[in-house]
Amino acid sequence: MPEGPEIHRAAASLHAALAGRIATRVAFAHAHLQAWSTRLAGARVESVTARGKAMLTRFDNGLTIYSHNQLYGRWEVSENGERPDSRRSLRLAIHTDGPAAFLFSASDIAVLDARELSQHPYLARLGPDLLDARVDEATVLARLREPRHARRGLVALLQDQRFLAGIGNYLAAEILHHCRIHPAARLRDLDEAAIQRLADACLALPRQSFATGGITNTLSRAAALQHRGADFEQARFLVYRRAGLPCYRCGTAIEKTRFVGKTTYWCPACQAAGD
DNA sequence: TACATATGATCAT
DNA sequence: TGATCCTATGTAA
């Protein structure tokens, strides 16, 4: 569940299940974390929130579990507290007298006190979180206009969590296609109208994805495609993982290209290089 | 069984 | 920019 919307949805789901409840047992698979189980058992879960792609589970004794799912971590909530059936390796379990939450596969897990939390190197450097309701278009526009970012390639810049938090590989491709911007373009190549469109899309697409369970395609088109039998993974995206398929705007075959080590999907016709 | 790839991120260069 | 780490999965051999 890798990008901002997926992590924020998982956090909301954990919060709904756990917040206000006593953690009867907290179990870590990693040996270096196991001593924390004693400190966390009996504490009340205050909240579960996401910051960018990181998740924070706060307890009322001042401790917070930090977790990052990287490419492969997966949270599962179980209403009856039973461990879900999975062949993945269980890395963290938070039990209550009711629901429980299970984190599979993730390896980046830490227990932090308030001071460590405020100084955490990843969290401290995060840019504005596009899924934070307090972040608005003016904030994003100001970020896009900072001269120090003008020369960086947009595919990499959009995925830099220090620039804006929450965008990953699928959202970057979807945002650039939505705005008709070539993936190799730089901010300095864009005119004022394009900067405005980009700011708008940087907020709108992650938020729509969060609200809809992952759809960055237009909602009507995604619904129509599914009605015709397409599965969700086929219907949800504008360009991501659609190499060779026709662009929804112009019919040109979507291309799959590696830019700066990342696979990017884009339409060579409606995302033509700027000049 | 081996290899390539992945919705991520860091570090060395 | 490339190498590397982390873990899981799909495809080729």
As a rounded value in angstroms, the CA-to-C1' distance for A228 and B2 is 38
Q: How far is CA A132 from CA A12, A72, A84, A97, A160, in A?
A: 13, 24, 30, 31, 17
Q: Look at residue A36 and tell me if it is in a domain.
A: yes
pLDDT at A273: 76
Nucleic acid strand B within 7 Å of A1 CB: yes
Residues A162 and A117 in one domain: no
Q: Which nucleotide is nearest to A260 (CA to C1')?
A: C1
Residues A21 and A98 in one domain: yes
Q: Look at residue A97 and tell me if it is in a domain.
A: yes
Q: Which of residues 5-44 of A touch strand B (CB under 7 A)?
A: 6
As a rounded value in angstroms, the CA-to-C1' distance for A177 and C11 is 29
Q: Which residue range is the domain that position A60 belongs to? A: 4-125
Residues A46 and A106 in one domain: yes
Last residue of a domain, one of A105, A125, A145: A125
Q: Which nucleotide is nearest to A5 (CA to C1')?
A: B7
Q: Look at residue A132 and tell me if it is in a domain.
A: no
Instruction: Using a 7 Å cut-off to protein CB atoms, list the covered nucleotides of chain C.
Output: 1-3, 6-9
Q: Which nucleotide is nearest to A7 (CA to C1')?
A: B7
Q: Look at residue A54 and tell me if it is in a domain.
A: yes
Mean pLDDT computed over A66-94: 97
pLDDT at A259: 87
Summarize pLDDT for A84-100 with one digit per residue, the tens.
999 999 999 999 999 99
Q: What is the pTM of this model?
A: 0.97
Last residue of a domain, one of A125, A147, A180: A125
Mean pLDDT computed over A129-145: 98
- Residues whose CB falls within 8 Å of the CB of residue A108, separated by 6 or more in sequence, listed in order: A67, A68, A69, A70, A73
Summarize pLDDT for A2-12 with one digit per residue, the tens.
999 999 999 99
| pLDDT at A182 exceeding the cut of 70 | yes
Whichever domain contains A118, its CATH number is: 3.20.190.10
A35, A18 Cβ separation under 8 angstroms? no
Length of chain A: 275
Nucleic acid strand B within 7 Å of A98 CB: no
Q: Look at residue A196 and tell me if it is in a domain.
A: yes
Considering its fold, how many domains does chain A have in total? Answer: 2
Whichever domain contains A227, its CATH number is: 1.10.8.50
